Amino acid sequence: MIRFDRVAKRYPPGLDALSDLSFEVEEREMVVVNGHSGAGKSTLLKLIAAVEKPTAGAVLVGGQNVGGLARAALPYLRRRIGMVFQDQKLLFDRNVFENVMLPLAIAGFPPREAAQRVRAALDKVGLASREKALPVMLSGGEQQRLAIARAVVNRPSLLLADEPTAHLDSETAADVARIFHEFHYVGVTILIATYANELFSGARRLQLDHGRLLP
Amino acid sequence: MKVWLAHHAAAFRLALRRLTAAPVNSLLSLLAVGVALALPAGGQMLLANALHLAGTTSAVPQISIFMASNAERKAAAEIESRLGRYGGVKNVQFLPREETLARMKANTGLRDVIEVLPGNPFPDAFVVTATDDRPEAMEKLAVEFRRWPKVEHVQLDSAWVRRLDALLKLGRTAVALLGVLLGAGLIAISFSIIRMQVLTHRAEIEVSQLLGATDGFIQRPFLYYGVLLGLGGGIVAWLLVGAAALWLRAPLGELVRLYDLTLVLQALDVRDSALLLGFAAGLGWLGAMISLRQHLKQS
């Protein structure tokens, strides 16, 4: 599903975020990326969604070299990937329903079918009753679940999550982790960058250290 | 097709929502666009009225003959009969000085002035049309009439028709120039307003891009916003011009009545109104497009 082939990412003026990184993620696999702050976890995820481009090497997603994609092709790659961002990137002037609706509107779903999918996704993360609420009215855990609902509403085969349980109390964090496990059970390939290993027991671990993969 | 329409409708609703979300801002923006458009639109309105006026006025050139003010009625009768016999004269209209005085007195503005003057300041006059109304022939007639006794002044009215024509041509050029200039201004206004909009919604644009939105999808609500801005500004301009037409109707009617013409100042007609709104919407769209191109190229 995902293959990193001797990937390096250097930010100007000469900061190496990732160096000589090679690994593979199989379809339907759940992988946790560990590492200290600044180890390159976020960069790794950004390379997969082609938010960043590698300075060297190749990032293959579904056999496609995403680093070489033209700007016009990026939207179609990203629609196949669900992303939960570290800072969530919710739209605070839109309610819960509209936030989750956005990826479907972008992908051009017919409104009625889209609405059904939005409700199904919200139900899945336990926010079915908060449809009309604005994100500011949600708790931290609810906001995180909203971000997850938005990431999965498109039913992507690949789900990327950057620190999805940070800033959550242990109970809420466990709740969020459970949602990821559920998606894993139904066959979604999942990559999670996190410190909280214990929440994702059973997942394969990739350990990053200063941009390099530890064996 | 239905889905496509639904998405356009959604983008349109979003644009409308953004426009109404900051009513004071939007109102001032519309006013800026409206005032910019009102100048060429107002020019066009005046021009259309002037053209109408020129069209209804007898374009047939006339010669006015003014008798000396001390000439007696007998002298005028003499001239009248001479004109009647003279070859090349098609029609003669006699304007007795008493009638002219009465007509001028009917005008409230002039009455006070006339009343302080001793006697009747107006001479007897004739308005003559010729069988051959080419300027050279008219000029020849005028020269002949000037030699007649007790004729004080002969005026060729074809001159003012030609002058009016030249003036209208100039007016048309001026309106076109103004239109181009303020059209460019409108593009600039739309550009910077959409730029502000883009900056306000930067987070949304970024998220949309991360979620796989094409440039087209991102641009759509902003383009609708630009169109609405132009269209709204066009409507403001239309209202301004209409109000100006109503306001100017009475005083301008009074003014042209002094020239023996009638003019009821009309607001923009259907064709000009449609052109105004169409151009306004188009230019709003263009300004938005340039702004978005610039922003998306950077991101």
What number is the ipTM of this complex? 0.91
A-interface mutation test, from B13, B20, B207, most A Cβ less than 10 A away: B207
Helix (H, G, I), strand (E, B) or coil at B219: helix
Q: Clarify whether residues B192 and B293 are in a common domain.
A: yes
Contact between B223 and B21 under an 8 Å Cβ cutoff? The reply is: no
CA distance B207 to chain A (A): 7
Domain-ending residue, one of B117, B137, B156: B156
Q: Clarify whether residues B284 and B238 are in a common domain.
A: yes
Q: Clarify whether residues B98 and B207 are in a common domain.
A: no
Q: Per the structure, how many domains does chain A have? A: 1
pLDDT of residue B6: 83
Rounded Cα gap, residues A39 and A23, in angstroms = 16
Q: Clarify whether residues B124 and B266 are in a common domain.
A: no
Structural domain boundaries, residue B133: 62-156
Q: Which residue has the higher pLDDT, B260 or A156?
A: A156
Confidence of residue A168 (pLDDT cuts 50, 70, 90): confident
Residue A171 forms part of a structural domain: no
pLDDT of residue B2: 78
Q: What is the mean pLDDT of residues A184-205?
A: 91
Residue A109 forms part of a structural domain: yes
B-interface mutation test, from A45, A48, A80, A93, most B Cβ less than 10 A away: A93
Residue A144 forms part of a structural domain: yes
CATH of the domain at B145: 3.30.70.3040
Does the CB of A61 have a partner CB in chain B at under 8 Å? no
pLDDT of residue B159: 67
A133 pLDDT above the threshold of 90: yes
At B273, give phi and psi (nearest 5°).
-65, -45
CA distance A103 to chain B (A): 6
CA distance A162 to chain B (A): 14
Q: Clarify whether residues B142 and B195 are in a common domain.
A: no
Put simply, the answer to whether A108 touches B2 (Cβ < 8 Å) is no
Does the CB of B296 have a partner CB in chain A at under 8 Å? no
Q: Clarify whether residues B52 and B180 are in a common domain.
A: yes
Q: What is the DSSP string of chain A?
A: -EEEEEEEEEETTTEEEEEEEEEEE-TT-EEEEEESTTSSHHHHHHHHTTSS--SEEEEEETTEEGGG--GGGHHHHHTTEEEE-TT----TTS-HHHHHHHHHHHHT--HHHHHHHHHHHHHHTT-GGGTT--GGGS-HHHHHHHHHHHHHTT--SEEEEESTTTTS-HHHHHHHHHHHHHHHHTT-EEEEE-S-GGGGTTSEEEEEETTEEE-
Q: How many CB atoms lie within 10 A of CB B241?
A: 26
**pLDDT in single tens digits along all 299 residues of chain B:** 777 888 888 889 989 988 888 899 999 999 999 999 999 999 999 888 888 877 766 556 788 889 888 888 888 888 888 888 888 888 888 888 888 888 888 876 778 788 888 888 888 898 888 888 777 788 888 888 888 888 888 888 766 667 777 888 898 899 899 999 999 999 999 999 999 999 989 989 999 999 999 999 999 999 999 999 999 999 999 999 999 999 998 898 888 888 777 788 888 889 999 999 999 999 999 999 999 999 888 76
Q: What is the mean pLDDT of residues A99-116?
A: 92
Does the CB of B24 have a partner CB in chain A at under 8 Å? no
Which residues on chain B are in Cβ contact (under 8 Å) with A102? 207-208, 211
Residue A40 forms part of a structural domain: no
pLDDT of residue B72: 83
Q: Which residue has the higher pLDDT, B122 or A27?
A: A27
Q: What is the mean pLDDT of residues A14-22?
A: 92
Q: Clarify whether residues B25 and B167 are in a common domain.
A: yes
Q: Per the structure, how many domains does chain B have? A: 2
Residue A135 forms part of a structural domain: yes
Q: Clarify whether residues B244 and B131 are in a common domain.
A: no
CA distance B215 to chain A (A): 8
Domain-ending residue, one of B123, B156, B189: B156
B138: nearest Cα among B121, B123, B152, B155: B155
Interface A-B: count of C-beta contacts within 8 A: 52
pLDDT of residue B109: 73
Structural domain boundaries, residue A114: 90-155
pLDDT of residue A47: 96
Q: Clarify whether residues B44 and B69 are in a common domain.
A: no
A-interface mutation test, from B206, B210, B297, most A Cβ less than 10 A away: B210
Q: Clarify whether residues B18 and B148 are in a common domain.
A: no
Tokens representing B72 are 């007696």
Domain-ending residue, one of B124, B156, B188: B156
pLDDT in tens, A113-122: 999 999 999 9
- Find all residues with CB under 8 Å of B58, minimum gap 6, and list them: none
Residue A113 forms part of a structural domain: yes
Q: Clarify whether residues B135 and B239 are in a common domain.
A: no
Q: What is the DSSP string of B140-184?
A: HHHHHHHTSTTEEEEEETHHHHHHHHHHHHHHHHHHHHHHHHHHH
Residue A165 forms part of a structural domain: no
Does the CB of A14 have a partner CB in chain B at under 8 Å? no
Does the CB of A78 have a partner CB in chain B at under 8 Å? yes
Put simply, the answer to whether B211 touches A72 (Cβ < 8 Å) is no
Kindly report which listed range (A58-67, A178-187, A196-205) carries the lowest average pLDDT score: A196-205
CA A43 centroid distance within chain: 12
Does the CB of B10 have a partner CB in chain A at under 8 Å? yes
Q: What is the mean pLDDT of residues A134-156?
A: 94
Report B:196-225 residues touching A (Cβ under 8 A).
203-204, 206-214, 217
Does the CB of A89 have a partner CB in chain B at under 8 Å? yes
